[in-house]
């Protein structure tokens, strides 16, 4: 089947995936093949088909995914027994759970998707420029620790995001972000101020003591195989997902 679904090896008993475009389908505009988010103009039948395909390939039915209504903040939604399976959590940019069989979803097209798994919890994080500045990654780690997990045992996967090669920002914004996150310092391939948000996230995770960080070193905007949706490349484009689920409890 055509939608790109990458298996991520995160931890024992944990399923994790990053999706991408369907390059055999329509060009990467509105409703482009592989899109997993509600986008205008809404194409519910196409969206349902695409989600169903990803559901088949991950073994996780889309009706059970916990999506977020993301707001570029640092609030964390905890999925516990009070949250009905498949419910969307609004106004949050990270989801954390210690329950099994609760699939957490993050939706992106240039922002950094981060999947996390510790001994007892999993998390999905949306870390755009504002999320990096407001500390959403640290907030997610704190929530995992608050649920009893040990940060040193947490593994992280940083998914497809726009690279420093392409993420051009004004000089004053560059200065502001790099002052807090030196690892984000970058120049575009055309020589202007840029941010490498994935590098900033990587450094934040390592500084927090996360035991292992893997990074998909690819840029959503200039990937030579055009595998990803990129808002900078096309503001009307679709969204790819990161998905993570604890499939069974570990000792």
Tell me the closest approach of the beta carbon of residue 165 to Zn ion, in angstroms.
Answer: 3
Using the rule CB under 5 A, is 222 a contact of Zn ion? Answer: yes
Tell me the closest approach of the beta carbon of residue 163 to Zn ion, in angstroms.
Answer: 4
Decide whether 83 or 222 has the Cβ nearer to Zn ion: 222
Q: Which stretch binds Zn ion (CB under 5 A): 4-12, 103-111, 133-141, 158-166?
A: 158-166
Using the rule CB under 5 A, is 219 a contact of Zn ion? Answer: yes
Decide whether 130 or 232 has the Cβ nearer to Zn ion: 232
Q: Which stretch binds Zn ion (CB under 5 A): 45-53, 81-89, 113-121, 212-220?
A: 212-220
Q: Which stretch binds Zn ion (CB under 5 A): 28-36, 52-60, 157-165, 170-178?
A: 157-165
- Using CB atoms within 10 A of its CB, is residue 215 exposed (0-12), middle (13-18) or buried (19+)? middle
Decide whether 18 or 65 has the Cβ nearer to Zn ion: 18
Tell me the closest approach of the beta carbon of residue 159 to Zn ion, in angstroms.
Answer: 15
Neighbours of 45 (CB within 10 A): 8
Decide whether 122 or 219 has the Cβ nearer to Zn ion: 219
Decide whether 6 or 222 has the Cβ nearer to Zn ion: 222
Assess contact for 228 and 218: CB atoms under 8 A: yes
Q: Which stretch binds Zn ion (CB under 5 A): 18-26, 99-107, 216-224, 226-234?
A: 216-224
Q: Which of 166, 194, 197, 199 binds Zn ion (CB under 5 A)?
A: 166
Tell me the closest approach of the beta carbon of residue 195 to Zn ion, in angstroms.
Answer: 12
Using the rule CB under 5 A, is 163 a contact of Zn ion? Answer: yes
Q: If DSSP states are collapsed to H, E and C, what string results for the chain?
A: CCCCEEECCCCCCEEEEEECCCCCCCCCCCCCCCCCCCCCCCCHHHHHHHHHHHHHHHCCCHHHEECEECCCCCCEEEECCCCCCCCCEECCCEEEECCCCCEEEEEECCCEEEEEECCCCEEEEEECHHHHHHCHHHHHHHHHHHCCCCHHHCEEEECCECCCCCCECCHHHHHHHHHHCHHHEEECCCCCEEECHHHHHHHHHHHHCCCEEEECCCECCCCCCCCCCCCCCCCCCCCEEEEEEECCCCC
Assess contact for 87 and 66: CB atoms under 8 A: yes
Tell me the closest approach of the beta carbon of residue 167 to Zn ion, in angstroms.
Answer: 8
Tell me the closest approach of the beta carbon of residue 176 to Zn ion, in angstroms.
Answer: 22
Near Zn ion in 79-108, by CB under 5 A: none
By CB under 5 A, how many residues form the interface with Zn ion?
A: 6
Q: Which residues bind Zn ion (CB under 5 A)?
A: 163, 165-166, 219, 221-222
């Amino acid at each position: 089947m055509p939608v790109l679904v990458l298996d991520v090896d995160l931890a024992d008993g944990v399923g994790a995936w990053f999706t991408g475009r369907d390059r055999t389908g329509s060009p990467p505009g509105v409703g482009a093949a592989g899109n997993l988010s509600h986008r205008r103009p809404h194409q519910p039948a196409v969206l349902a088909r695409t989600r169903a395909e990803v559901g088949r390939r991950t073994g996780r039915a889309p009706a059970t995914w916990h999506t977020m209504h993301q707001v570029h903040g640092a609030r964390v939604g905890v999925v516990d027994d009070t949250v009905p399976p498949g419910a969307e959590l609004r106004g949050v940019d990270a989801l954390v759970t210690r329950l099994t069989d609760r699939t957490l979803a993050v939706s992106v097209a240039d922002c950094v998707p981060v999947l996390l798994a510790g001994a007892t919890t999993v998390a999905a994080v949306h870390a755009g420029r504002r999320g990096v500045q407001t500390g959403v990654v640290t907030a997610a780690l704190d929530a995992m620790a608050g649920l009893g997990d040990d940060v040193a045992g947490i593994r992280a996967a940083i998914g497809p995001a726009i690279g420093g090669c392409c993420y051009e920002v004004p000089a004053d914004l560059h200065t502001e972000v790099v002052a807090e996150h030196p690892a984000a310092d970058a120049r575009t391939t055309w020589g202007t101020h840029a941010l490498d948000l994935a590098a900033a996230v990587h450094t934040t995770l390592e500084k927090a003591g996360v035991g292992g960080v893997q990074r998909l070193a690819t840029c959503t905007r200039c990937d030579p195989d055009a595998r990803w949706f990129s808002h900078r490349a096309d503001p009307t484009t679709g969204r790819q997902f990161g998905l993570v689920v604890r499939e069974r409890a570990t000792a």
